[in-house]
Amino acid sequence: MPIGTFLGIAFDGLYFAALLFFASIGLTLVFGILNLLNMAHAAFYGFGAYLAVWTLNNIGDVTTSTVVLLAILVLAIPIVVFVLSAALDKSVFAPLYDIEPVYQLLATFGVILMLDDIIKFIWGASPISVDAATDPSRQLGSIELLGSSVSAYRSFVILIAVLCAVGLYLMFVKTKLGKISQAMSEDYEMVQMLGINVNRVRVLIFSISVALAALGGALFVPFAVAAPSVTLDYVLLSFAVIVIGGLGSLKGVVVAALLIGMVRSLGIAFFPAIELAIVFALMAVVIIFRPEGFFGHRGVVE
Amino acid sequence: MSTRFPTFQNVEIRESLLNWRLLAAVGLFVVLALYPAVTGNAYHTRLLAWMMCFAIAALGFNIVLGYTGLLSFGHAAFFGTGMYTVVIVMNATGITDLLVLVVLAMIAAGVVGAIIGALSVKTHEIYFALLTLALAQLLYVLAVRDVGGLTRGTDGIGVSRPDFFGVPVSELSATVYLVGFYYYVILTFLAATIVALWFVLRSPFGLTLKMIRENETRAEMTGVPVLRYRLYSMILSATVVGLGGALYAIVVGHITPEYLDWTMSGEIVFMALLGGIGTFLGPVIGAGGFILLQELALAYTEYWHFTMGLVLFVIVLTLREKGVWGGVKTLATRVADRRDDQ
Amino acid sequence: MSTQPVLETQNVRKEFGSLVAVDGVSIEFHTDEVVGIIGPNGAGKTTFINLISGALPLTDGSIVFNGEDISTLRKYKRVRKGLVRSFQIPQIYDEMTVFENVQSSVLSRKQENNRLFTPVHRDTESVEETDRLLTMFNLGDHADEHTEHLPHGVRKVLDVAMSFALRPEIMLLDEPTSGVGSREKNAVMQTITEAAVEQDIGLVFIEHDMELVRSYSDRIVALHEGRVLADDDPANVMESEEVNQFILEGGV
């Protein structure tokens, strides 16, 4: 096999991993810190995807500047979703924090169904895609990397994922919010008793988590269509990532996203028939033999 | 001793309640039995047949969730196995007898239940939910990609109508087959399932499942091999769900991997929860309610998912394990109590 | 006292990492005695019971029951052989009635868990036995109540009644009177010990209340830092210098 092909596969794997990271990181944080298993998390990935296509296609008349387009994807959409999810946390999700995990799964399954139709109501049932004129991935073209030609846009997505992972790590280690969150993941009641406003921390963590999922969805669409199936696919993929990595672990998500990204990339290249089957088999094997995942039960950043 | 046998007044209430329930059940079955003949409405008959198939599946599912206390998100695997077994066996072996096909489908679903159960009964709560989800989804992916050449992938397979004890009922027209024959087959199976499970879940076996649901440590310390009984529960549940799937396969006439997908599992969970997982008949009511709700929502709006999602969300936050049926029962008791007070 | 012990621990040892919780304990238990286990917190009392019941695996040593080595036997199999325990926090079935709670134990003892089709309330044999047990433990008034909202003392007695329904040879009780009001403590112990004598069950109980231990034990085992400090008649144990130094004066 030529080395170029191998690099291409590895690069695609990294790109998949970046998207999986965005789709899953918030899911694991909300579970680890706030004890909420939010099945509807991936719906925000889907929402981000739709919002991105719509925004890019409507901004075309005003500007087609690459910088503006990228800023929309990386900044505008996450910020909008951040505000929106703060409102959702106070309303829809607020009553879910105190119920049993099994009921959380069921209630948030209901939320998926609702969000699914809200998306259909706004953007219709048929898949939509980014116009060529405002597609930043076309504008950026390709770059040379280690002697092979790769998509500059995909490299950008990978870079953003790395920055987000590092940023989150620093947030948990350095900032007050991060330290309180870590303490909450270990002993929620204790933090509450210390007189810290846990509700405010909760809203922040939830909104950051959801905004990251929307960011992933937004970055995803220049290379794919926004369709209702996006949400349903990523519900399962993101569960696979956080289970394999260990529920509640930041490092676990990074490692598991890389693993699944590579497995999918290799699978598509060599075993296209069973590429997804490998992911679910891996997920099952991890739960059976190591239910705590690679890095579970060790806090958010350990 | 005296406490076991309630006072005279209570006996009276209990007996009349029992009679009332039995009467209501028999009445419902009579109505169901007469409906197609009296109205001749093929659309309604089809909808009722559909509801009854899912009522069987939801009852079977609730053995695991309501009685054993395990949330499975993988029951589509058993439902789909039941469906695919009917068509694959029919096409591969030329067996066309309905009963043989249904029994084979139940066995196949039971075997899949035994495999998924054996792999997952050691895990708890969300891990059980996620593991059953992963294993069932594995089956779905294999069916979509047509690994093994059995399923024809996403195109699906058409199902021809089976015969009955050598009687060539399959030669009847589709509508007559459904309204005149197959509807009653499903009704009979539903009645049989309800009666059989009513007894099984009240037997020492059923009590053992409840012990495990309520307190696993205690059950084990009472000498119950907890894991083995969880496995039994999964196998029984899978078999019953497989029956529902097998019967449904012939109603829809075309099988695609959709029926193995996790959203299908979600729908089965939804039905049981809607009716009430803490009650025996809740899942039956829930299956009927779910399909009715879906049809109504579809008639008025294309956004029926939203309606369903909202209902699920509200039920989880308000009625919980009681569901609609449990809620009605509680309400009835309260009304009766108030009448007694006056 | 019979000469052949029913239950015997031989050099039983349990380590949690570098911590040695139980350090070579060898004790014999018989069916016709009530043994009180005392010791300060962290002495290894509960760990010792967890080892015998199989809740924790042994690090070393062995447990012999009726001449058979049961050191690695699964928990439920030990129960079926006649080695039963109850818990400090009552372990009962909340969404079932008191009657069902006890009947489930009766049916499990008879290993009838896999009987299908006979409704439990029509199984005359187990219903009658359950009624007898409810009367014996004064639970009759609560028979048809769900256990969820029962007062703590009643839950505690129910837990013990469920263990008695298993007709064990040896019954291990982890603080049978914890959380029970001081006036009822004697009544609870009275009920338990009488039932044990009647059914020829050997009792082993952990207790912090020295008065209770003295009144109801035929023999007392004092544990300290995972070792046996004393194993003798109540009078001798209570007078032992070491016991006084480490346990009684330590203010348990």
Instruction: Give A1-45 pLDDT, tens digit per residue.
Output: 566 678 888 899 999 999 999 999 999 999 988 989 999 999 999
The enclosing H or E element of C28 equals strand C19-29
Domain range for A19 is 3-289
Instruction: Give B56-88 pLDDT, tens digit per residue.
Output: 999 999 999 999 999 999 999 999 999 999 999
Kindly report the backbone phi and psi dihedral angles of residue B302, in degrees, each rounded to the nearest multiple of 5, phi listed first: -80, -10
Q: Is residue A298 part of a domain?
A: no
Contacting residues of B for C113, CB less than 8 Å apart: 204-205, 207-208, 224, 229
User: What is the CB neighbour count within 10 angstroms for residue A173?
Assistant: 12
pLDDT for residue A2: 67
Query: Mean per-residue pLDDT for B165-190?
Result: 84
Q: Mapping DSSP to helix (H, G, I), strand (E, B) and coil, where does residue A262 land?
A: helix
CB B208 to CB C121 under 8 A?
no
Q: Is residue A302 part of a domain?
A: no
CB B310 to CB A105 under 8 A?
no
Contacting residues of B for C108, CB less than 8 Å apart: 208, 211, 219, 222-224
Instruction: Give B295-308 pLDDT, tens digit per residue.
Output: 988 888 888 889 88
Read off the pTM.
0.90
pLDDT for residue A21: 96
What mean pLDDT is reported for chain A? 89
CB B122 within 8 A of CB B141: no
Which chains are adjacent to chain B, needing at least 3 Cβ pairs under 8 Å? A, C
- Write the residue in C79, C96, C120 that is nearest to B204 by C-beta: C120
- Write the residue in B213, B222, B229 that is nearest to C162 by C-beta: B222
pLDDT for residue B7: 42
Tell me the pLDDT band of A229, cut-offs 50, 70 and 90. confident
pLDDT for residue C237: 82
Tell me the pLDDT band of C84, cut-offs 50, 70 and 90. very high
Left if phi > 0, otherwise alpha if psi is -120 to 50, otherwise beta: which for A144? beta
Q: Hey, what long-range contacts does C188-194 have (CB within 8 A, 24 or more apart)? A: C188/C153, C188/C156, C188/C157, C188/C160, C189/C215, C189/C216, C191/C136, C191/C137, C191/C138, C191/C157, C191/C160, C192/C160, C193/C34
Quote the minimal CA–CA distance from B267 to chain A in Å: 10
CB B119 to CB A284 under 8 A?
yes
pLDDT for residue C153: 82
Query: Mean per-residue pLDDT for C151-155?
Result: 85
Residue ranges covered by each domain of chain C? 1-82+169-252, 92-166
pLDDT for residue B79: 97
Q: Is residue A155 part of a domain?
A: yes
For residue B21, pLDDT beyond 50: yes
For residue C212, pLDDT beyond 70: yes
For residue C118, pLDDT beyond 90: no
pLDDT for residue B4: 43
pLDDT for residue B120: 95
Instruction: Give B230-247 pLDDT, tens digit per residue.
Output: 999 999 999 999 999 999
CB B204 to CB C75 under 8 A?
no
What mean pLDDT is reported for chain C? 87
CB B223 to CB C95 under 8 A?
no
Selected residues 55-84 of chain B with any CB under 8 Å from a CB in chain C: none
Instruction: Give C229-251 pLDDT, tens digit per residue.
Output: 888 888 888 888 777 777 766 54
Contacting residues of B for C56, CB less than 8 Å apart: none
Q: Of the given ranges (A156-165, A292-301, B323-332), which has the lowest mean pLDDT? A: A292-301
Nearest residue of chain C to residue B321 (CA atoms): C95
* Residue that wins the pLDDT comparison between A272 and B290: B290
pLDDT for residue C231: 86
For residue B15, pLDDT beyond 70: no
pLDDT for residue C172: 92
CB C107 to CB B204 under 8 A?
yes
Tell me the pLDDT band of A168, cut-offs 50, 70 and 90. very high
Cα–Cα distances in Å, from C174 out to C45, C49, C62, C181, C241? Answer: 9, 8, 21, 17, 26
Q: Do chains A and C touch (3 or more CB pairs under 8 A)?
A: no
Selected residues 206-245 of chain B with any CB under 8 Å from a CB in chain A: none
Q: In chain C, which ranges are continuous DSSP H helix? A: 45-53, 75-81, 98-109, 124-136, 152-164, 182-199, 210-216, 234-239, 241-243
Q: Rounded distance, CA B32 to CA A62, Å?
A: 63
Nearest residue of chain C to residue B202 (CA atoms): C119
CB B123 to CB A287 under 8 A?
yes
Q: Of the given ranges (A2-6, A264-268, B275-279), which has the lowest mean pLDDT? A: A2-6
CB C76 to CB B218 under 8 A?
no
CB C112 to CB B204 under 8 A?
yes
- Sequence-separated (6 or more) residues with CB below 8 Å from residue A65: none
- Write the residue in B4, B210, B226 that is nearest to C99 by C-beta: B4
What length does chain A have? 302
- Write the residue in C75, C119, C143 that is nearest to B221 by C-beta: C75
CB A243 to CB B130 under 8 A?
yes
Top-confidence range, A250-259, C35-44, C109-118, C154-163: A250-259
For residue B341, pLDDT beyond 90: no
Tell me: domain C1-82+169-252, CATH 3.40.50.300, correct? yes
CATH number at residue A126: 1.10.3470
The secondary structure of residue A90, as a DSSP letter, is: I
For residue A56, pLDDT beyond 80: yes
Structure tokens of B334? 């309260």
- Write the residue in C94, C108, C144 that is nearest to B223 by C-beta: C108
Query: Mean per-residue pLDDT for C87-116?
Result: 90
Tell me the pLDDT band of B103, cut-offs 50, 70 and 90. very high
Top-confidence range, A9-23, A141-155, B166-180, C167-181: A9-23
For every residue of B274-338, DSSP letters joined together read: HH-TTSSSHHHHHHHHHHHHHHHHHHH-S-HHHHHHHHHHHHHHHTGGGHHHHHHHHHHHHHHHH
Query: Percent of chain B scored above 90 by pLDDT?
Result: 58
Tell me the pLDDT band of B5, cut-offs 50, 70 and 90. very low
- The angle, 0 to 180 degrees and rounded to 10, between the axes of the packed helices B42-62 and B262-275 is 90
Query: Would the CA dihedral through A205, A206, A209, A211 be positive or negative?
Result: negative
pLDDT for residue B8: 44
pLDDT for residue B1: 38
For residue B183, pLDDT beyond 80: yes
Quote the minimal CA–CA distance from B205 to chain C in Å: 5
Residue type, C202: G
Contacting residues of B for C75, CB less than 8 Å apart: 220-221
- Write the residue in A105, A109, A110 that is nearest to B126 by C-beta: A105
Selected residues 202-221 of chain A with any CB under 8 Å from a CB in chain B: none
Nearest residue of chain B to residue A231 (CA atoms): B263
What mean pLDDT is reported for chain B? 88
Q: Mapping DSSP to helix (H, G, I), strand (E, B) and coil, where does residue A243 land?
A: helix
* Residue that wins the pLDDT comparison between C200 and C243: C200
Say whether residue C113 is in contact with chain B using an 8 A CB cutoff. yes
For every residue of B75-91, DSSP letters joined together read: THHHHHHHHHHHHHHHH
CB A107 to CB B313 under 8 A?
yes
Query: Mean per-residue pLDDT for A141-155?
Result: 82
CB A283 to CB B306 under 8 A?
no
Query: Mean per-residue pLDDT for A240-262?
Result: 92
pLDDT for residue B6: 42
Tell me the pLDDT band of B109, cut-offs 50, 70 and 90. very high
* The total number of structural domains that make up chain A: 1
Say whether residue B20 is in contact with chain A using an 8 A CB cutoff. no
Say whether residue B251 is in contact with chain A using an 8 A CB cutoff. no
- Write the residue in A113, A120, A276 that is nearest to B312 by C-beta: A113
Query: Mean per-residue pLDDT for A138-158?
Result: 84
For residue B19, pLDDT beyond 80: no
Selected residues 27-56 of chain A with any CB under 8 Å from a CB in chain B: 37
- Sequence-separated (6 or more) residues with CB below 8 Å from residue B70: B64, B128, B230, B233
Q: Is residue A294 part of a domain?
A: no
Quote the minimal CA–CA distance from A48 to chain B in Å: 19
Cα–Cα distances in Å, from B104 out to B85, B100, C68? Answer: 7, 6, 45
For residue B192, pLDDT beyond 60: yes
Say whether residue B201 is in contact with chain A using an 8 A CB cutoff. no
Instruction: Give A77-128 pLDDT, tens digit per residue.
Output: 999 999 999 999 989 999 999 898 889 988 999 999 999 899 999 998 899 9
Instruction: Give B30-48 pLDDT, tens digit per residue.
Output: 999 888 888 888 889 999 9
Q: Rounded distance, CA A202 to CA A205, Å?
A: 5
* Residue that wins the pLDDT comparison between B1 and C191: C191
